[in-house]
Structure 1
Amino acid sequence: MLKERLKQLVGQESVLSFAQKCEIGESSMRKYLDGRVPGLDKAAQIAKACNVSLQWLATGEGAMRPEEQVAQKSDEYIGIPRYDASLSAGNGFWNIDTAHELDHIPFTAEFLRRRLGRSNPDDLIILTANGDSMEPLIGDGDLVMVDQKKNELTDGVFAFVLNGMARVKRLNQTLAGDLEVMSENPLYRTEVFRKDDLINFQLIGKVVWCGHHFAR
């Protein structure tokens, strides 16, 4: 269980010291140690602070340490790079040019083939979505995998930059060439950008996978 792996990481260290290292409140950490499952963002935070694989922490599978995962050079798992850049489901800025690679999230080669139709991970990246406009499809803090090779505008959920702002939304291009930017959350209205206003529009890629929080 995840709480047992957390206890393994705590070891002889005090819960307070461990929580501070992970930049998580002590009360929240104690709840995780008692069995409450942390959200995906918090689990990733703990994994980073302890230099362990997020997959190992979440499921107990794979190598415990990221360097061990790399050393295995297994054909069974393929690591998709995760960056410290965020896509906004509300407001935000695309900062991939200044982002650095945090780690790799492992996926099986079979998953890439069968679910994504990919034989290799080229141009696949994982980013974090912020905001609630794409709820319940994509939640605040969820990880999204973006296929940068799918950079032709078709119906679907895409990561894109418009007027210097990076966003993740459902897109639809009208027959007149205008762009409809739609949210999943009914509290947000559909935005329509005229063809002449799309000079500063850049498609990053299509969202092909989303990793939801373990708990809300």
Structure 2
Amino acid sequence: MNDDGLGKRIRTAMGDESARSIARRADISDSTLRSILAGSRPTVDNLAALARALDVSLDWLATGADAGLAHGVRVPVYAGMDALADDAPPVDALVLPEDLTHAHLRCRDGAIVAAKVGDDAMTPGLAEGDLALVDRACGRIAHDGLYVMTFEGTALLRRIQRSGAALIVEADNPAFRAWTIEAARVAEVRVVGRVTGAVRRI
């Protein structure tokens, strides 16, 4: 087994998911995974368990010999906006082409995640069951756009527009009325991330 680059391949496959979450899914201890990431040689059983947990081929993880994720970015998938906002463990993962995340979505590796849309507030752009691609590196409303945010204990996927020091919160579906967060309460908004794209159901 060629250990050169093993830690880097594991981190690439982990994406934005925590080491603790990966270790739990692989049924190995946190300390074992940290040791492997630091350069220790894993057992074959642990390496196979990590490959299954990371949804990559054992050959690629061990040697880097096949395609694996070499030209793709692993994106953790969350069950919904609440799960994303609460930093719950991802329920799945998908692999996006590297050039898509860098050139078109303009996201750095590890920042992009996906979350399942749970209602029809953003139709026709995003339907229930679609996956919203969220850039978690964007933690503030720098300009008008589509964001995942929490307010009054609720996670929302909405378009946010600035109106002076206040925020206008809008859905694309006209059945949902727009509403305003007054300037005095803007500090209560927590921006989870900016939506940069979507994976739609066929």
What's the TM-score once normalised by structure 2's chain length?
0.64
C-alpha offsets along residues 144-179 of structure 1, whole Å, 9 cap, x if unaligned? 11101122311010000001100000000111x111
Query: What residue is the counterpart of 2:161 in the other structure?
Result: 172
Q: How does 1:63-212 map to 2 (within 5 A)?
A: 66-68=55-57, 71=61, 72=66, 73-84=68-79, 86-87=80-81, 93=82, 96-97=85-86, 99-118=88-107, 120-153=108-141, 154-175=143-164, 177-212=165-200
Distance apart, 1:99 and its partner CA: 1.6
Distance apart, 1:203 and its partner CA: 0.6
Q: Judge conservation of contact 1:130–1:140 (CA < 8 Å) in 2.
A: yes
- Equivalent position SS for 1:130: coil
Distance apart, 1:94 and its partner CA: 5.2
Q: Judge conservation of contact 1:142–1:211 (CA < 8 Å) in 2.
A: yes
Q: Which amino acid aligns with 1:207?
A: V
Q: Which amino acid aligns with 1:198?
A: V
Name the CA shift for 1:74/1:142 in 2 (closer, same or farther; >3 Å): closer
CA distance in 1, matches of 2:78, 2:83: 12
Q: Which amino acid aligns with 1:102?
A: V
Q: Judge conservation of contact 1:182–1:189 (CA < 8 Å) in 2.
A: yes
- Segments of structure 1 that go 5 or more residues without pairing to the other structure are 1-64, 88-92
Percent of aligned pairs with the same amino acid? 18
Aligned alpha-carbon RMSD (Å): 2.1
Distance apart, 1:95 and its partner CA: 5.9
What's the TM-score once normalised by structure 1's chain length?
0.60
Distance apart, 1:187 and its partner CA: 1.4
Number of residue pairs matched by the alignment: 142
Q: Judge conservation of contact 2:84–2:115 (CA < 8 Å) in 1.
A: no
CA distance in 1, matches of 2:162, 2:83: 22
Distance apart, 1:197 and its partner CA: 2.3
CA distance in 2, matches of 1:122, 1:67: 17
Distance apart, 1:96 and its partner CA: 4.3
Structure 1 stretches of 4+ with a deviation exceeding 6 A read none
Q: Judge conservation of contact 1:164–1:200 (CA < 8 Å) in 2.
A: no
Query: What residue is the counterpart of 1:4 in the other structure?
Result: none
CA distance in 2, matches of 1:101, 1:182: 27
- Segments of structure 2 that go 5 or more residues without pairing to the other structure are 1-53
Name the CA shift for 1:67/1:75 in 2 (closer, same or farther; >3 Å): closer
